[in-house]
Copies of this chain bind each other. A is one copy, B any other.
Amino acid sequence: MDPKINEINGYLVSIFNDVLMIEERTLQSSQFKDVSIKEMHTIDAIGMYQEHTTSEVAKKLGITVGTLTVSVNNLVRKEYVIRVRSETDRRVVKLALTKNGRLLYRLHDKFHRDMVRETLQEMSEEEAEVLMKGLLNLHSFLERTKEQLPE
């Protein structure tokens, strides 16, 4: 059992690092050089389809609202994001992507989808199911762990 644990753990760690590194490098060699990987994930969290408030996005990203405000300032300056004050509750700020922001969003999404598609390519239907089950197990372990976390 033990050697398998080490092996799987090793793959996970190196997958994490690779994905981050590849995303970073891909951005830097694209037309979106002025966007960091953190900013990319902020853009991803803001999303294409619904409006999200500052609080919602900060929670999704696991950062404080203050941190997000600073980051959104930069993304607004670089014209990827716009702020829209809510009409019904004027304390609330809704975040949305500009045209350019949506373009970047799709590019990033495509990278992720290609990555998974390539992975599944050499696998049978049943194997893909098992991979999914493994990821589901891992995911629910982490969700349980999160709940037990001291605040």
On whether the beta carbons of A137 and B118 are closer than 8 Å, the reply is yes
With a CB–CB cut-off of 8 A, which chain B residues contact A25?
149-151
Contacts of A76 in B (CB 8 A): none
Looking at the complex, which of A7-15, A48-56, A80-88, A97-105 is the stretch in contact with chain B?
A: A7-15
Verify A133–B127 contact, CB threshold 8 A.
Answer: yes
State A141–B122 Cα separation when bound (angstroms): 11
* Contact, CB under 8 Å: A15 / B131: no
CA distance A6 to B139 in the complex (A): 15
A77 at the interface (CB under 8 A from B): no
Chain A window 89-126, contacts with chain B (Cβ cutoff 8 Å), 1 for yes, 0 for no:
00000000000000000000000110111111111000
What are 29 A-B contacts with C-beta separation under 8 Å? Answer: A1-B120, A4-B128, A5-B116, A8-B128, A8-B135, A9-B113, A9-B115, A11-B138, A11-B139, A12-B116, A12-B135, A14-B142, A17-B62, A18-B139, A18-B142, A18-B145, A18-B146, A20-B62, A25-B150, A26-B149, A115-B141, A116-B138, A123-B134, A123-B137, A130-B130, A130-B131, A131-B131, A131-B133, A131-B135
